[in-house]
Structure 1
Amino acid sequence: MKAVIKFLVLLELLQQLGAAKFPRTELKLEIAEPCDSQKCLLPNCRCSDVKLGGLIKNIPQFVTVTFDDAVTALNYEYFDKIFENIRNPDGCSPSATFYFSHEYTDYTKIHKLWAEGHELALHSMTHGDGTTYWKEATVDVFVKEFGQQLETVEHFAKIDKRDIKGMRIPHLQISGNNSFVAAKHLGLLYDSSWPTTRYTSPPLWPYTLDYKSIQDCPIGECPSASIQGLWENPLVNWEDIKGYKCAMLDACIHMPNDSVKDILDWMIHNFNRHYSGNRAPFGVYLHSAWFQKGDNYYEAFKEFIRHLNRQPDVYLVSASRVIEYMQDPVDGKPFKSCPKKRERTCNPKMCQLRKIDSGEVRYMNVCSTCPGVYPWLDNPHGLKTKKN
């Protein structure tokens, strides 16, 4: 019988690797078995399924608006106006989720988003060098890329890293078990890197990776291991006007005419597949550059948000808020209270720095003292050493 390293042993091994070198490790995990609904019980386990389950009749429709890549002074202007004069049916403020990468990010704007109640989630330190980088990345690479980003955001944006609960891999390029093992090691609640083209009608609900997933893997190798308690928030694909599937709005090739009405109608059509169906969370996944694709994209997007807000049971919430509901789904009003507002404690500073590897100049806005050099992988605090 082949020896299998239990997950707790795996975590202990990763801890022993230390933060400096992260040597490559060959690991074996327990193979995930088909889900047993009698054993897989909330709040920490849920089978992959297109049904919510239970006796809930009035299922709220959650909408998660998510943005990828750097948060800058320029795209912050878009973010700042999307939810103007919008409140969820329970009176709570709406929130988006920002899967931000380190390079070019303005950490004073990260602090503002956090204080306003939006969710911050990890998208890596370097963003990698194309899809091959992530496809071939080991557990150790993922731990460095996302673990060191946690250190950077806590230090330079002055936020509590415990508030960061999720991650998304650049290019949505999963690599089997590796990224999920790393997410568990880092203490994250969920991953949201995994698109589905098969489970769009009816769409797939979030689930945990304790057991074998029914989800298809259009990008990358499917995970095969049992990773207990880690949630997957799947990216349910959209359809363009010709019916082709697209994981993110940016990837939709055949778009409507550049008019507010046509773009809005297309967005509502995709939304109704969830709203008139099984009510699985509806994800709006994009990069802020999408707003610049045409003259009317941004206005159509805001009108879509207003359309959602006119529905009596639609909630614009963060990805982690969805998981919170999934852990204890209830009939009717989904949450007992609104998320607490956070106090702003940022003292903004602009820093002119150089990248060690290339010597390029980077301007970096921070909420703390300026680092010695531009923070990067293996130097997340930007410490200036003799070698620099």
Structure 2
Amino acid sequence: MAKCQSELFFDIEQQICERKHNVLNCAQIDKFQPPLPVWPLADGQESLCPNGEIECGSGECLPRELFCDNNVDCADGSDENICTPDNDPNRADVCDPRKCLWSEGCFCSVDGTRIPGDLNPEQTPQMITITFTGAINDRNFRIFQDIFKDTTKHKGNDCTPKGTFFISHAFTNYSAVQELHRVGHEISVSSITNNQNRTYWSQLDSAGYESEMDGARVIIEQFANISANEVLGLRVPRQRVGGNQQFKMMVDWGFLYDSSISAPMGRLPLWPYTLMHRMPHKCLGTDQNCPSRNFTVWEMVVNELDRRDDVKFDEVLTGCHYVDQCANLVSPKQFRSFLDNNLDRHFRTNRAPFGLHFTSGYFETRKNFLKEFVSWVADVAQRGDFYFVTMQQVINWMEAPTEIAAINNFQEWKGKCEVKGLPYCSLPSPCPKKVSRLFPEEEEMFLYTCMECPSTYPWLHDPYGSGGFFSFNENF
């Protein structure tokens, strides 16, 4: 049973403790139960259908391949109501290391905890991924410059720490995005609309995900001058997952990895894995739509963070996956202890990448936390076995596991060490555009860019801002 501190309430959808005004499902007990087919069969139960067919809840028999294909075929729709990683009749196989070959771009382990290359923990660099999700603006851009100072260097390879930014479009300053990329940070996408309706993302089809995510990538290429083939990752807003439709789109449009799926706290933290086999952990979250089929995509899984003040003596509390959700952190000293405790858990076990995931505005209202975090990053970088790297750099290392002793010559990391060139422009154009139908509270929207201004504010189905197509949904 989940246990929250006093004055906190348990959100059954996000599976975290939150303040009362943020929890809208406390009293939610009974939910509508959709019709189900006769599947999976119970022990000793015989199917009334011919081989290769499954009985719908409404009685008819249909071929197995019609189940969970995103098309309703049963009269009662039951063929699309069992599409979880454990129940989908056409689900991916569990991990078989003998069939999951590095040469084919596959990595898995039965429980998700195996170190790539079967290295010993002592030989494995402790990678740390700092990610920010949301819009990039003048306020938080200065904060990011403070965190990732060019005077902070890793003791192990003399490179500066790098982060990953999952960009949502509205209110983003694309000249700032361009500068973050120039100095070696990774730019990924988190949609155009940043729709806050959770069911929107759970139910969106592959064409919708293409418009949201590849459209966001087009905007970044057009207005931050970053090649689309460098923008390879995505994170779905609101910690929702789009199931097979999301990952089908990712394969079709050449995305390398997703970082939307959360994993529960286990004996050991999890390493990233490819989705060519079944997920090595349960699908976390109420009504979460995790992928059930196999896809040639990496999952940069979000491990649960331990938010207890004293991990040896405090009672068990539900963890959090994004630092913003750790509502019990109120003082800089407590924040520092939280960082050290969670880093220590990874470093002293299997050295799975340690993820610290923030919204882009987290430190804007926590200046005392920012000072502590800047100090912590500098201190950890000087310890020798710790490396602040991007998501793509984690994958680079996993594809070619390299011991700490040789990490100084690991070219996939060294390539980002030296910052080349100068900022593209010192005075970006604000490109003011009338967008009253998009955001009624905003008379004008500014799109800061060093590139040529668009004809209209770029949006869903019109990422170039040409004005040739306009779509508006009041829920965005």
Instruction: Report the TM-score when normalising by structure 2.
Output: 0.72
The one of 130, 137, 157 equivalent to 1:72 is 137
Greater CA drift, 286-295 or 275-284: 286-295
The answer to whether 1:380 aligns with 2:441 is no
Greater CA drift, 303-312 or 203-212: 303-312
Bigger Rg over Cα: 2
State the alpha-carbon separation in 2 of the partners of residues 203 and 285 from structure 1.
15
Q: Tell me what 1:106 maps to.
A: 173
> SS of the residue aligned with 2:207?
helix
The answer to whether 1:166 aligns with 2:233 is yes
Q: Deviations over 1:10-49 (max 9, x none)?
A: 9xxxxxxxxxxxxxxxx99952011111110115001142
Unaligned 5+ runs, structure 2: 1-51, 53-62, 70-82, 309-314, 472-476
Q: Deviations over 1:276-296 (max 9, x none)?
A: 111000001001332244452
The one-letter amino acid of 1:46's match is: F
The one-letter amino acid of 1:300's match is: E
Matched positions, count: 364
State the alpha-carbon separation in 2 of the partners of residues 295 and 345 from structure 1.
27
The answer to whether 1:214 aligns with 2:280 is yes
CA positional deviation for 1:297: 0.8
Give the 3 Å change call, closer, same or farther, for CA 344–216 of structure 1 in structure 2.
farther
State the alpha-carbon separation in 2 of the partners of residues 64 and 146 from structure 1.
22
CA positional deviation for 1:310: 2.4
> SS of the residue aligned with 1:121?
strand
Would the aligned equivalents of 2:462 and 2:469 in 1 still touch at CA under 8 Å? no
The answer to whether 1:83 aligns with 2:156 is no
Q: Deviations over 1:293-314 (max 9, x none)?
A: 4452111111221231122110
Counterparts of residues 1-388 of structure 1 (less than 5 Å)? 1=52, 2=63, 31-43=91-103, 44-48=105-109, 49-57=112-120, 58-84=123-149, 85-88=151-154, 89-199=156-266, 201-219=267-285, 220-228=288-296, 230-241=297-308, 243-255=317-329, 257-259=330-332, 261-332=333-404, 333-334=406-407, 335-336=410-411, 338-340=414-416, 341=419, 343=421, 346-347=424-425, 348-355=428-435, 357-358=437-438, 360-385=443-468
Give the 3 Å change call, closer, same or farther, for CA 316–239 of structure 1 in structure 2.
same
State the alpha-carbon separation in 2 of the partners of residues 309 and 113 from structure 1.
20
State the alpha-carbon separation in 1 of the partners of residues 141 and 451 from structure 2.
20
State the alpha-carbon separation in 2 of the partners of residues 116 and 188 from structure 1.
22
Greater CA drift, 35-44 or 342-351: 342-351
CA positional deviation for 1:198: 3.6
The one-letter amino acid of 2:435's match is: K
How much identity, in percent, do the aligned residues show? Answer: 29
Would the aligned equivalents of 2:64 and 2:90 in 1 still touch at CA under 8 Å? no
State the alpha-carbon separation in 2 of the partners of residues 374 and 268 from structure 1.
43
Would the aligned equivalents of 1:157 and 1:346 in 2 still touch at CA under 8 Å? no
Would the aligned equivalents of 1:353 and 1:362 in 2 still touch at CA under 8 Å? yes
CA positional deviation for 1:344: 5.0
> SS of the residue aligned with 1:298?
helix
Would the aligned equivalents of 1:156 and 1:366 in 2 still touch at CA under 8 Å? yes
Would the aligned equivalents of 2:460 and 2:470 in 1 still touch at CA under 8 Å? no
CA positional deviation for 1:130: 1.9
Give the 3 Å change call, closer, same or farther, for CA 386–226 of structure 1 in structure 2.
closer
Greater CA drift, 325-334 or 76-85: 325-334
Q: Tell me what 1:20 maps to.
A: none
CA positional deviation for 1:137: 1.0
Would the aligned equivalents of 1:356 and 1:374 in 2 still touch at CA under 8 Å? no
> SS of the residue aligned with 1:286?
strand
The one-letter amino acid of 1:226's match is: N
Greater CA drift, 203-212 or 328-337: 328-337
State the alpha-carbon separation in 2 of the partners of residues 93 and 297 from structure 1.
21
The one-letter amino acid of 2:424's match is: C
State the alpha-carbon separation in 2 of the partners of residues 169 and 182 from structure 1.
13
State the alpha-carbon separation in 2 of the partners of residues 173 and 325 from structure 1.
28
> SS of the residue aligned with 1:76?
helix
State the alpha-carbon separation in 2 of the partners of residues 32 and 356 from structure 1.
46
Give the 3 Å change call, closer, same or farther, for CA 124–262 of structure 1 in structure 2.
same
Would the aligned equivalents of 1:100 and 1:123 in 2 still touch at CA under 8 Å? yes
Would the aligned equivalents of 1:290 and 1:297 in 2 still touch at CA under 8 Å? no
State the alpha-carbon separation in 1 of the partners of residues 403 and 65 from structure 2.
41
The one-letter amino acid of 2:200's match is: Y
Give the 3 Å change call, closer, same or farther, for CA 352–46 of structure 1 in structure 2.
same
> SS of the residue aligned with 2:102?
coil
The one-letter amino acid of 1:237's match is: E
Would the aligned equivalents of 2:125 and 2:387 in 1 still touch at CA under 8 Å? yes
Instruction: Report the TM-score when normalising by structure 1.
Output: 0.88
State the alpha-carbon separation in 2 of the partners of residues 169 and 29 from structure 1.
26
Q: Deviations over 1:240-290 (max 9, x none)?
A: 2263211100001222x423x332122101111101111000001001332
Q: Tell me what 1:16 maps to.
A: none
Unaligned 5+ runs, structure 1: 11-26
Would the aligned equivalents of 1:29 and 1:225 in 2 still touch at CA under 8 Å? no
